[in-house]
Amino acid sequence: MSGHRDHRDLSRDAHAVTAPAIPPAIAAIPSADASPVDAAQGGPPPGTAFSPQEREAVYRAIRERRDMRHFAGGQVAPEVLARLLQAAHLGPSVGFMQPWRFIRVADPALRERLHACVEAERRCTAEALGERGGEFLRLKVEGLRDAAECIAVALADGREAHVFGRRTLPQMDLASVACAIENLWLAARAEGLGMGWVSMFDPVAVGDLLGLPPGAEAVALLSIGPVHGFYEEPMLQRERWARRAPLEAVVFDNAWGQPAPWLGGVLPEPPLGAAGPNPGANGEADR
Amino acid sequence: MSGHRDHRDLSRDAHAVTAPAIPPAIAAIPSADASPVDAAQGGPPPGTAFSPQEREAVYRAIRERRDMRHFAGGQVAPEVLARLLQAAHLGPSVGFMQPWRFIRVADPALRERLHACVEAERRCTAEALGERGGEFLRLKVEGLRDAAECIAVALADGREAHVFGRRTLPQMDLASVACAIENLWLAARAEGLGMGWVSMFDPVAVGDLLGLPPGAEAVALLSIGPVHGFYEEPMLQRERWARRAPLEAVVFDNAWGQPAPWLGGVLPEPPLGAAGPNPGANGEADR
């Protein structure tokens, strides 16, 4: 651990392990000489800052990303699909294990069989929901057959070999895959494409359809493609299934349930889709 | 299911459930009249397109995001921290359940106790790693005490009430939290701040320290703050712990293991940190 060392020691520390073979072009940490501005005194390190316009574009993608279920058919150009998958593959993973596998469903018959799995589970979910089952059945919960592309996502087999960051929290492999999918989602929004994540299926049945080996697990059926429009707020909020909690309800200080008073004074304007001043749209309970 | 209807039916379909109270300003889908361009014929819907510069900024954040363990101390302004948490809270969640809770660790003594949990688990992980244990112990795997901010992230209690999208895959709550964390990560990069996700701890011990109620689960200790520089490639690749797989190794067509030939011809340039033509840096096996 080098927690107490200052930054001038870091490149030396890192080089102690790998000095002989790391070319200067991929040195991880600029040396103190190359980094005269003290980052701790404000501002990002030289050469790494995003312009205000770039920063706002990232926030825009985050703000305008939607879980889409309405698609416009059409196509996604192969180079665009490759960019989206590259974005996913650049996601973080625990111990850099890269546990994600993406299966493009190009065969229409396979897509129909996957859709049938989802439809079967939709019925089971409605039953399990009890009194909200009828309301649930009126929602459009997936657009698998309408979207230009369908990508199944699975956890790879052989994950038990990866202990780094997973000894006590083995589910971090799924967390990594989810981060990769969020990358893909934001990239799709930036490309003007909609995306929806369907998790309403029996993973064993879907795994069989996709030929997954033992140990691999299907976790997502992604619909990706052109849309006629993006929902202006999350569809499940618009449909009164649930509404976004105020940020203050999910942020605490030092212990569960302890309010974070600093948040009140600095909170940015509620984003589109957050509980706002319009009581007709947002001021009611979950139902 | 409205999978076979065309888009002109969608707003009607949606309104059937909620017509009386949805003001026009938040209509989910533009009507056919308002959307004369057929999205399926190429290009995003009018008014929703990102400029090439905006799109590139999103890809830049994805490409340059790093799991940081080297921090420069300093501070994060409250309004910036609020923006980051807002970005997380805008993440997708299964059934819009918003299962994430964020606990800002402002108390230095609490941060020390959390760090001690991580340090204990680091030793246990090294033992569990067997022959790679020594190599692992030489890595810097966290920067909890060096970062300006520490945010613990937990799954909320009461999640069993949420069945939508989780009847067969209950772990989708964690997937949602991970997507929220990835939003925060990308937003931090755009703000010029580093972030690291530490999952090396006993979740019961950390839950006790944070006062989590029964049913809630700690899943992340995030370090956030100024850095002296961002790694030019993932640190675990630089340190030869693992290397990024070629994209072709994680993308299949129609079935597990079946190559995706369309990917070869259109693959973008390997991003920084992908396996590239430099054999000294990337051309070796995992070790």
Question: Amino acid identity, residue B21?
Answer: A
Q: Which CATH superfamily is domain B66-230 in?
A: NADH Oxidase (3.40.109.10)
Contact B28 A187 (CB under 8 A): no
Question: Amino acid identity, residue A43?
Answer: G
Query: What's the pLDDT score for residue A247?
Result: 96
Chain A residue with Cα closest to B59? A187
* DSSP at B275: S
Contact A103 B165 (CB under 8 A): no
pLDDT, tens digit (0-9, with 9 covering 90-100), for A206-226: 999 999 999 999 999 999 999
User: Contact B48/A250 with Cβ under 8 angstroms?
Assistant: no
The span from the CA of B7 to the CA of B230, in Å, is 45
Query: What's the pLDDT score for residue A46?
Result: 87
Contact A228 B35 (CB under 8 A): yes
For residue B276, give how far its alpha carbon lies from the nearest alpha carbon of chain A (Å): 12
Residue among A1, A125, A169 minimizing CB distance to B164:
A125
Q: Six-digit token pair at B277?
A: 């033509």
Sign of CA dihedral A44, A48, A50, A51: positive
Half-sphere exposure of B245 (CA within 13 A, CB side): 18
Contact B96 A30 (CB under 8 A): no
Q: Does A110 touch chain B (CB under 8 A)?
A: yes
Residues 6+ apart with CB under 8 A from B139: A17, B235, B236, B239, B241
Contact B211 A67 (CB under 8 A): no
The span from the CA of A242 to the CA of A270, in Å, is 17
Minimal CA–CA distance to A274: which of B215, B110, B90? B90
Q: Does A183 touch chain B (CB under 8 A)?
A: yes
Instruction: Please report residues of B whose CB lies closer than 8 A to that of A49.
Output: 192
For residue B214, give how far its alpha carbon lies from the nearest alpha carbon of chain A (Å): 11
Q: Does B276 touch chain A (CB under 8 A)?
A: no
The span from the CA of B176 to the CA of B174, in Å, is 5
Contact B268 A98 (CB under 8 A): no
User: Contact B114/B105 with Cβ under 8 angstroms?
Assistant: yes
Q: What is the DSSP string of chain A?
A: --TTS-GGGHHHHHHHHHGGG--GGG-SS--TTT--S-GGGSSPPTT-PPPHHHHHHHHHHHHH--B-----B----HHHHHHHHHHHHTS--GGG---EEEEE---HHHHHHHHHHHHHHHHHHHHHTGGGHHHHHTS----TTTBSEEEEEEEPS-GGG--TTTSS-TTHHHHHHHHHHHHHHHHHHHTT-EEEEE--S-HHHHHHHHTPPTT-EEEEEEEEE--S---SS-HHHHTTS--PPPGGGTEEESSTT-B-HHHHHHPPPPPTTSS-S-HHHHSS---
User: Contact B60/A27 with Cβ under 8 angstroms?
Assistant: no
Query: What's the pLDDT score for residue A89?
Result: 98
Instruction: Please report residues of B whose CB lies closer than 8 A to that of A259.
Output: none
Measured CA to CA in angstroms, residue B258 lies from A211, B4, B180, B197, B251 at distances of 10, 30, 32, 33, 8
For residue B127, give how far its alpha carbon lies from the nearest alpha carbon of chain A (Å): 10
The low-confidence residues of chain B, meaning pLDDT below 50, are: 1-37, 272-287
Task: State the complex-level ipTM.
Answer: 0.83
Q: Six-digit token pair at B98?
A: 């918003």
Minimal CA–CA distance to A74: which of A143, A145, A148? A148
**In DSSP terms, which residues pair with B154 in a beta bridge?**
B101, B218
In chain A, where the domains are located: 65-231, 233-287
User: Contact A241/A209 with Cβ under 8 angstroms?
Assistant: no
How many C-beta atoms surround the C-beta of residue B12 within 10 A? 13
Task: Give chain A's radius of gyration (CA, Å).
Answer: 23
The span from the CA of A219 to the CA of B252, in Å, is 15
Q: CA-based diameter of chain A, in Å?
A: 66
Which of 3.40.50.720, 3.10.310.30, 2.40.30.10, 3.40.109.10 would CATH assign to domain A65-231? 3.40.109.10
Q: Does B104 touch chain A (CB under 8 A)?
A: yes
Query: What's the pLDDT score for residue A269?
Result: 58
Contact B232 A26 (CB under 8 A): yes
Q: Six-digit token pair at A170?
A: 């083995």
Instruction: Please report residues of A whose CB lies closer than 8 A to that of B35.
Output: 228-229
Q: Does B190 touch chain A (CB under 8 A)?
A: yes
Q: Six-digit token pair at A230?
A: 């993006």
Instruction: Please report residues of B whose CB lies closer than 8 A to that of A75.
Output: 40
The low-confidence residues of chain A, meaning pLDDT below 50, are: 1-37, 272-287
Q: Six-digit token pair at A164?
A: 């780094």
Contact B74 A202 (CB under 8 A): no
Q: Does A260 touch chain B (CB under 8 A)?
A: yes
Contact A280 B21 (CB under 8 A): yes
Measured CA to CA in angstroms, residue A240 lies from A212, A275, B11 at distances of 37, 12, 15
Half-sphere exposure of A247 (CA within 13 A, CB side): 27
The span from the CA of B204 to the CA of B208, in Å, is 6
Q: Which residue blocks in B106-222 are alpha helix, DSSP H?
A: 108-128, 133-137, 172-190, 203-210
The span from the CA of B39 to the CA of A193, in Å, is 9
